[in-house]
Structure 1
Amino acid sequence: MTKSIVVASALALACAVGPAIAADLPSTKAAPAFIPPLAPPPLWTGFYVGLNAGYTWSNSDTVAQSYWDTDAAGLGANALIGNFPGSINANVSGFIGGGQIGYNSQVSDKFLWGVEADIQGVATSGSTAALTGASAYTTLSRGIDYIGTARGRLGYLVTPTLLAYATGGLAYGQTNLSASYLGAPTIVASDSYSDLRIGYAVGGGLEWLFAPRWSAKVEYLYYDLGTASTPGAVYAYTSALGSQISGAQSSTRFDGHIARAGLNYHFDWFKPAPIIAKF
């Protein structure tokens, strides 16, 4: 009897304690899947627009003069005795200012590529030089009204917000060149050239992303628009041998340097939408 009571009590205790112990055991139900946080987007990727200002100066200052003559009293004959120059130096320089638009693609934490187009007006870019001979006077003028570029950029991120880059591509500019000649006894001649020229530009710079959408840059460019010549001045006259004709032509290379600073605003069009985890 007593033995039966003990066995029954043990079974009852086991039935009561079992569920309580089971409740404390770890659950076998799978935990929600872990969704890692999205990596921050590249700081530099996207479109931008900005303004720039700086200074430009010519690399080649020489304007070469060539002459021809059918007798001994025109432009060519006067050039032979030193009345008209074989060349004149005329520097093209001045303040420059304009705007730019571009796009960057940051391909890693260290490198990016991009494209940029800009256009600038040149203040006081025209240069006039004069030369006086024994009995003649020459006036020469050349200049660049505006200059623009369309370039690629390849950059290295020194820090996440400091970019060092090299750049190169197309350059274009409105160029002009003119010359006039006065000489004894009645020499009066002139000609001029004005045209949009295409060339190239190369350089580099530093750009600092000092705020989430703003960057400042300093940049140097060398541009080369090639060599241009005037159509040629013509002076006709009469000598003892009859009707004569003479001419003169000017040619120069339009190349130079640009040093400038700029400010860019970056559009935040590529910021990803936040991820909402669902369990």
Structure 2
Amino acid sequence: MKNLIAGGAFFFCGLAVAGDSGAWSGPYVGLFAADTRLVVQSDATAQRGALGMGFGVAEISDAMVGSMTYTDTARAHRVKPGVYAGYLWNQGALVYGIEADLQDGAKSRSSGLNTTQLERFPANQQQYEYDQAFNLHYLATLRGRFGYAQDNWLLYLTAGVAHAKLSTELNSYAPLLGPTAPPPAFLSSTTSSSANRTGWVAGLGGEFAVAPQLRIRAEYLYYDLGDTQVDAHSRVLYNTGALFSSANGRVKSEWTSSSARIGLTYSF
């Protein structure tokens, strides 16, 4: 019983030390788990490409391109690990500092099927099938922190720069349904791209000191990573292999993300 009382007294003394006005100052490192939500908003447009030989090719190609547009949103939730390091300064109850972190990313997919009646060719329909894969490979930030400390608690706001590697893969297939003479062969198209993007991040959080050098934290961050685009080239062939028509498409995607984090910090 005496040992238990002594241990409890030692623990609460540690909490009291952690709550001192200068206890938050100094360098620190930590590990966290992040529930990461990835949202990608895509808008597709298309323009007529090269035309082959044959009756009505230009008109049919115009009608096809006019229907090859869509707007879609891909979402995903993933729990990912990460690391962080930073430095804090105290001025009374005010705490400010800088922090850098790195975490694993997330993946999402979206797919759909659009069918449109052609105005000048009522016997035909344009069908457009697509499947998109989005990959947020990693996510890194460099942020300032500004907060208020009271006893063992620190509440803070944070904002800064976010950097990520993004990649997109687009698979599409756009056949024309209905009579054509001669019947064309519609080819599927696969296009991919990758890019590094820098955007902004902002959020808020709180930390609790459980010992002089050990803290637990919870925070929420929102990221805007800008946009990427994928250019696709689709071809339609006659059954003889000759070109019927082609179209040039562009898919522009806006990337945003958010993460709810639980972390464990060791301060020096």
TM-score normalized with structure 1 length: 0.71
Distance 1:254 1:135 in 2: 27
User: SS of the residue aligned with 1:91?
Assistant: strand
The Cα of 1:139 is off from its aligned counterpart by 1.4
| In structure 2, C-alpha distance between the alignment counterparts of 1:41 and 1:47, rounded to whole Å | 16
Measure, in 2, the Cα distance between the counterparts of 1:72 and 1:119. Answer: 52
Deviates more, 1:181-190 or 1:147-156: 181-190
1:131–1:139: 8 Å Cα contact kept in structure 2?
Answer: no
Q: For structure 1, which runs of at least 5 residues remain unmatched after alignment?
A: 1-39, 268-279
The answer to whether residue 197 in structure 2 is matched with residue 206 in structure 1 is no
Which residue of structure 2 lines up, in the alignment, with residue 18 of structure 1?
none
Q: Which runs of 4+ in 1 moved over 3 A?
A: 70-74, 132-136, 236-239, 242-245
One-letter identity of the residue aligned with 2:253: T
Counterpart for residue 188 of structure 1: 188
Shift of 1:54: 2.1
Answer whether contact 2:111 2:129 (CA < 8 A) is retained. no
For the pair 1:197 / 2:176, whether they are aligned, the reply is no
Secondary structure of the equivalent of 2:23? coil
Residue equivalent to 2:157: 166
Bigger relative contact order, structure 1 or 2, given CA contacts below 8 A and separation 6+? 2
Equivalent pairs counted in the alignment come to 219
Give the letter aligned to residue 63 of structure 1.
S
The one of 68, 85, 89 equivalent to 1:101 is: 85
Alignment-mate amino acid for residue 41 of structure 2: T
* Alignment equivalent of 1:87, drawn from 59, 62, 71: 71
Q: Deviations over 1:40-92 (max 9, x none)?
A: 77101111111011212135x42111111143555x64353x4x441222114
1:243: how far off? Answer: 7.3
Q: By how many angstroms is 1:106 displaced?
A: 1.0
The alpha-carbon distance between structure 1 residues 94 and 168, as it changes in their structure 2 partners (threshold 3 A), is: same
- Checking the alignment, whether the CA contact within 8 Å between 1:143 and 1:177 is kept in structure 2 is yes
Matched, 1:68 2:50: no
| Structure 1 residue 120, shift from structure 2 partner | 0.4
Q: 1:1-279 to 2 correspondence within 5 Å?
A: 42-59=22-39, 61-70=40-49, 71-72=58-59, 77-80=63-66, 82=67, 84-108=68-92, 110-123=93-106, 125-131=107-113, 133=115, 135-157=127-149, 159-184=150-175, 185-230=185-230, 232-237=231-236, 244-267=245-268
CA deviation string 1:216-237 (max 9, x = no partner)? 000011111111111x111345
Higher strand residue share: 2
Displacement of 1:177 in angstroms is 1.5
Which of the two has higher C-alpha Rg?
1
Percent identity of equivalent pairs: 26
Q: What TM-score does the superposition give when structure 2 sets the normalisation length?
A: 0.74
- Aligned residue identity for 2:267: H
| Deviation (angstroms), 1:138 | 1.5
Amino acid of the structure 1 residue aligned with 2:204: G
Question: How much has 1:238 moved relative to structure 2?
Answer: 6.3
How many angstroms apart in 1 are the aligned matches of 2:78 and 2:223? 15
Contact 2:21 2:90 in 1 (8 A): no
Amino acid across the alignment from 1:235: S
Deviation at 1:173, TM superposition (A): 0.9
Root-mean-square deviation over aligned CA pairs? 2.4
In structure 2, the CA distance between the partners of 1:179 and 1:72, relative to structure 1 (3 Å rule), is: farther
User: For residues 179 and 105 of structure 1, what CA distance do their matches in structure 2 show?
Assistant: 48
Name the SS of the counterpart of 2:208 in structure 1: strand
